[in-house]
Structure 1
Amino acid sequence: MAAAETLSTTPLARPVVCPADVYICSESAPPTAVPRVTSDRAMSFGPSTCLPSEGFSSTTTSRSRMSDEYDTAHVSTLTATQRQATVAVLDRLSPSDWDRPTPCEGWTVAHLTAHMSMSFRVGITKLVLTMVRERGNFDRAADRLARDDVARMAHVELVAALRHNVTTAWSPPGGDLVDALCHDVVHGLDLTEGLERPTTATEEQLDLVLRTMRTKNRMEYFGADLAGHALQASDLDFRVGHGDTLVLPATAIVLILTGRESVHDHLAG
């Protein structure tokens, strides 16, 4: 994508907490301010396929917190490239595209877009209060926040929140920049799968996500069942599991390991 070629290779910008602790923004390009959520309507159970403990911790990540295998600046560039690609897809949506379902159970493209920018807009106070309301269940809290945001924000505002934070650094609680990259890549797949469009993720991004899923035991969290098969990527040097080999594109393996799809969806007959 031509726009991605203009990205800087410098580390992601350090985010700052904005007034009233309502959202988190980049020092270099703050998002449009949004009012506090006041809706108290009951939320249905949200997606069970979000990344574990993904949330709204916005910090710079030191090299010591990341595997020596990865370079902080390079991971930052990969993340920014994915976000920019996601924004490019969102910029071309038709009005009806926003209502299309995604692999995140119960979420449309609009809900998914709201969720992808939550880490830049929602402060820790709001997150904690929502978690309390949802009895400590993060999936329900994320669902409530996404639905409230879709109800009160225009689609252009949701996209702007992502556009203004292409180079904003954040990391999930207990995680690092690699986990943040996984968040962007996997939800980028959710977006393109829901829209039935080609993936925006590069081979390098997919490879890093798959290796992170395997080494950090994310498969157990998502309840991924390989059904006695070994999954071999047809387009990457990646293999996981034991048993009969099932050769699939890397994107399909990501969707299986994160609970979006099942091995049985890809078995002949």
Structure 2
Amino acid sequence: MHDDDIWQHIDDQRADLADLLDTLAPSQWSTPSLCEGWTVRDVAAHLTHANAPWSQMAWQAFRSGFRFNAMMRRVVTHDARPPEDVVDALRAMVGQRHRPPGTAVVDPLVDALIHGQDIARPLGIARSMPTDAATAAAHRLWGMSFPLNPRKRFVGIRFTATDVDFAVGDGDVAAGPIGDVVLVLAGRRPGLAGLSGEGAALARTRE
């Protein structure tokens, strides 16, 4: 996928998610998300941190002992903005072309797609993924060794999409919609409910 197409998908996802967040009641912002230990508000705030100055993130990394997950949690914990400010910040990112140093162009798309599901699914809100965007995200996830490394976690399993031309891995087949494949590769167990086959059963045994 061309970079311009990727950024268009990123813009679409950010704008659509901001619109969704605008509709939430106060109690929904405190709903636990698919990210363990994070609420809907935490995940939404995290998405806006991609625009934080690199110097600020480097300082937070230092204070967190250069532990990635600890740094992310620390930044979210210290973000006291009210929901309306988080929504405004996310919407302001539409049209921007900023990404953290060392990341790929597709990485903000991966974040937007996955975290959109982290927010929507616990709230019972259906949120589809464009198949071409989800396919690009799935390929990126499969090739990553940090922080998830699905190739190692799912050795012996072949993931295939039933709604688009996508297949990775070798072994027993786990088949389903590309959106559910993306969630599983990203470590979100609810995505397993959409997969079938012997590979899906095997994937459910992997932590």
- TM-score by structure 2 length? 0.84
Contact preservation (8 Å) 2:155, 2:169: no
Identify the residue that residue 144 of structure 2 maps to in structure 1. 218
User: Deviations for 1:161-198, whole angstroms, at most 9, x for unmatched residues?
Assistant: 00111111122322232222222222222222232321
Amino acid at match of 1:241: G
Distance in 1 (alpha carbons) for counterparts of 2:3 and 2:177: 27
Q: Pick closer, same or farther for the CA change 1:192–1:262 going to 2, 3 Å.
A: closer
Matched, 1:145 2:75: yes
Q: Which is richer in helix? A: 2
1:239 paired residue among 144, 163, 167: 167
Equivalent residue pairs, number? 195
Amino acid at match of 2:29: W
Alignment of 1:57-76 (within 5 A): 70-76=1-7
Percent identical: 27
Distance in 1 (alpha carbons) for counterparts of 2:131 and 2:110: 13
Identify the residue that residue 105 of structure 1 maps to in structure 2. 36
Contact preservation (8 Å) 2:160, 2:173: yes
Q: CA offset at residue 220 of structure 1? A: 6.2
2:136 paired residue among 188, 200, 208: 208
Gaps of 5+ in 1: 1-69
Alignment of 1:128-139 (within 5 A): 128-139=58-69
Identify the residue that residue 60 of structure 1 maps to in structure 2. none
Amino acid at match of 2:144: R
2:184 paired residue among 256, 259, 263: 256
Q: CA offset at residue 206 of structure 1? A: 0.6
Q: CA offset at residue 235 of structure 1? A: 1.3
Contact preservation (8 Å) 1:233, 1:253: yes
Distance in 1 (alpha carbons) for counterparts of 2:165 and 2:125: 24
Distance in 2 (alpha carbons) for counterparts of 1:254 and 1:264: 10
Identify the residue that residue 158 of structure 1 maps to in structure 2. 86
User: Deviations for 1:5-58, whole angstroms, at most 9, x for unmatched residues?
Assistant: xxxxxxxxxxxxxxxxxxxxxxxxxxxxxxxxxxxxxxxxxxxxxxxxxxxxxx
- TM-score by structure 1 length? 0.66
SS in structure 1 of the partner of residue 33 of structure 2: coil
- CA RMSD, Structure 1 to Structure 2 (Å): 2.2
Identify the residue that residue 13 of structure 2 maps to in structure 1. 82
Distance in 1 (alpha carbons) for counterparts of 2:125 and 2:190: 20
Identify the residue that residue 97 of structure 2 maps to in structure 1. 169
- Structure possessing the higher radius of gyration over alpha carbons: 1
Identify the residue that residue 190 of structure 1 maps to in structure 2. 118
User: Deviations for 1:132-155, whole angstroms, at most 9, x for unmatched residues?
Assistant: 111111211111111111xx2111
Larger RCO of the pair (alpha carbons < 8 Å, separation 6+): 1
Amino acid at match of 2:168: V
Q: CA offset at residue 129 of structure 1? A: 1.9
Distance in 1 (alpha carbons) for counterparts of 2:192 and 2:138: 20
Q: CA offset at residue 207 of structure 1? A: 1.3
SS in structure 2 of the partner of residue 235 of structure 1: coil
Gaps of 5+ in 2: none
Amino acid at match of 1:74: D
Contact preservation (8 Å) 1:223, 1:259: no
User: Deviations for 1:62-116, whole angstroms, at most 9, x for unmatched residues?
Assistant: xxxxxxxx32222221110111111121111111111111121110100001100
SS in structure 1 of the partner of residue 78 of structure 2: helix
Q: CA offset at residue 252 of structure 1? A: 1.5
Amino acid at match of 1:240: V
Contact preservation (8 Å) 2:184, 2:192: no
